[in-house]
Structure formats: C-alpha cells, structure tokens
Amino acid sequence: MKEMLAAVAGIDVSKKTLDVTLLNEKGGKQRKRFANTTAGIKDLLTWLAQKTSRAVHVCLESTSVYWEDVAEALHEAGQVVSVVNPVRIKGYAMSQLRRSKTDPLDGDVIADFCRTQKPDLWQPPTAEQKKLRALVRHLEALKKSRTQQQNRLSTCRDEEVRASLEMVLATLQQEIERLEKRIRDFIDQYPDLKQKKELLEPIKGFGKKTAIHILAEMYDLSEYKNAKAVAADAGVTASHYRSGTSVRKRSKMSRMGKATIRSALYFPSISAIHHNPVVKQLANRLTAKGKKKSVIRVAAMRKLMHLAFGVLKNQTPFDPAYAG
C-alpha cells in the first residue's frame, strides 16, 4: 500500500493550529496552516483532496491529546496515518542538523521523516476503547477536582464556605464512586477488554485501577513492535547527556510520551520496588551500583511497562518467578 502513495505530509500539531507540509512524488513542497478545530480539520481534508486524488501518508506527533481528532478524521477520510513519538522526530531533526525550530519547519521535518522512514501505520481505537478512555479521563478529572476542593477545605475558616465545600466534596465523591462502578461494569461487557484487564491486574504494583488506566490510555499496547517502543511511547526511558570523558550530566526521565501513563505509574512503581520480585531485583541491582532513587523509580516504571506488554503480547499471566 505504501508504494502506491502519491505524497506524504507532516503535521505539526498544537492546541490551536495544524501546520501542514505536503511533499508530492516529484519533490514539490507546499505549506498551509489550519485551525485545530472541527471546521479547520474539514478544510485540511478538502485541501488534501484537491492536491491529489490518491491517498496521502500523513505523519503527526503524539502531542498531548491535540492530535487525536485530526488523526481520526484523516483515517476516516481514507488517508494513511502514522502517529509518531516526538522523541523520534526530535532525534531525526538532530540527525539532519536542523538548527531552527518553528511550526512550519517542524512540519517540514515531520514530512521528511515520513518520506524517508516510512513509520508504522496507526489504527484508531474501537468504539468501546474510545468510550473507556473518555470515562477514565473524566474520572481522573473529577479526582483532581476533589483534591483541589479538599485542599481548599483544609485551609478554609469561614463556616458557610466550609459547608459549601463539604457539599461539593460529597457530590464529587458520590459521582466518583458511580463512575468507578460504571467503568468496571463497562469493561465486563466486552470480553477483549475484560481479558486484558485480568492479565494486567496480577502484575504486582498494578492492581485494578492501574490496569484500567493502561487499558484506556494505551489501548494498542499489545500491537507495539517491542517493549522498548512501549517504554519510549510512555516516556519512561532514561535521557542521558555525556560527551568525552568530562561531561556527565545526571540521567533523567525523557518525559517525551504519554504523561497520563507516567502519572499512573508513579505510585505503582514504588509499590513494585518493594513487592514485585522482578522489579525488586532490578531495584536492588541499581541500588548496588549507587543509582539515585529517582533513576531507580524510572527503571521500575519502565519494567512495569515491559511486563504489561509481555503479558498482553503473549496472552500469558504474570509470572512472579520470571527474572527477565
């Protein structure tokens, strides 16, 4: 299918705009900016259809959640879509000695990456996967709101305001509990989701809530090529800066990927360091090497994602005796 594509396009996605670079089969280049809105995406589809009658291989970065609507619209319109981790685009730009960074130039880099690297094609989530993601994200938003109101209540001295906050908190708690049950019941309706949840839950450190979060935010986890790609997309790979024999900056988490996954893995990684034999073994080995706690925690997050990928890819329950 890729050999039949007439053109490639790169889209630099932001909250408000879509900066598009279109490269045709003869090497010609065209740029255009669209609003990242329903109307703007519609204009983009019309523009692409006017430029070529054949499918375009469109690449865009997985930037926050801003790419999701345009990716789905492009796929539904019959275009070929690849959603790429920003780390790969950044690395490609560096390899091409790109020094300038603007939205239109970013679109150029993404288009050239698409043309030369031919990244894997993206498949949109199913209707039930989208529904689960929407429910989980709404639940997380309500939990954040609850924390905010609890913080306000802890410092409030006015009795009338305290009474109002307590009422708001009671309502939030009731809705959170309702949503948690709704999500559990929803997953039970779909054998595939239920099976995946049951495979993820036994991973020590995960539990039901983390398993559900992984299912919602990385619905295609079992489709990744390897565990390394999973960790990179979740943003739990280490970023190193070393040069020669003298420059040795502290390693840190790359933070390029799915922030929601990293957030969901924070407390599970701490638990896994103490209770998951696979992660504990890794943590002990790194501790013996003098690694800092933050580095060990990132390694624990990465190992948890490796384990999650393994059980889903192989359809095999977690084995605590595994020492991989």
Measured at the alpha carbon of residue 104, what is the angle toward residues 101 and 106, in degrees to the nearest 5?
Answer: 50
Q: Do strands 17-24 and 56-61 pair parallel, antiparallel, or not at all (unpaired)?
A: unpaired
* 93 inside domain: yes
- 111 and 134 share a domain? no
- 72 and 98 share a domain? yes
- 85 and 146 share a domain? no
For the purposes of burial, counting CB atoms within 10 Å of the CB of 278, is it exposed (0-12), middle (13-18) or buried (19 or more)?
A: buried
* 74 inside domain: yes
- 179 and 101 share a domain? no
- 144 and 59 share a domain? no
For residue 171, which phi and psi values (nearest 5 degrees)?
A: -65, -45
Of 65, 2, 4, give the one whose Cα is nearest residue 36.
Answer: 65
* 10 inside domain: yes
| Token digits of residue 83 | 């959603």
- 232 and 268 share a domain? yes
Last residue of a domain, which of 64, 88, 117?
117
The CATH number given to whatever domain includes residue 34 is: 3.30.420.40
| Token digits of residue 53 | 């009658």
Last residue of a domain, which of 96, 117, 138?
117
- 104 and 26 share a domain? yes
* 176 inside domain: yes
Give pLDDT, residue 257. 59
- 88 and 131 share a domain? no
Distances in whole angstroms, Cα of residue 201 to Cα of each of 58, 195, 204, 264, 267 = 36, 10, 8, 14, 15
Model confidence, pTM = 0.81
* 172 inside domain: yes
Give pLDDT, residue 179. 97
| Token digits of residue 113 | 């990456």
Give pLDDT, residue 1. 42
Listing DSSP states for 72-120 in one string gives HHHHHTT-EEEEE-HHHHHHHHHHTT-----HHHHHHHHHHHHHHH-PP
Last residue of a domain, which of 99, 117, 135?
117
User: What does pLDDT average to in each consecutive run of 10 residues of the chain (324 residues)?
Assistant: 69 94 85 96 95 90 89 96 87 70 77 92 93 96 97 96 98 98 97 95 92 93 87 73 44 60 92 94 95 93 94 88 56
* 206 inside domain: no
- 111 and 138 share a domain? no
- 12 and 78 share a domain? yes
Long-range contacts of 27-32 (CB under 8 A, 24+ apart): 29/108, 29/111, 31/104, 31/107, 31/108
* 87 inside domain: yes
Domain that holds residue 159: 127-189
Count of domains forming the chain: 3
- 242 and 308 share a domain? yes
- 72 and 156 share a domain? no
* 319 inside domain: no
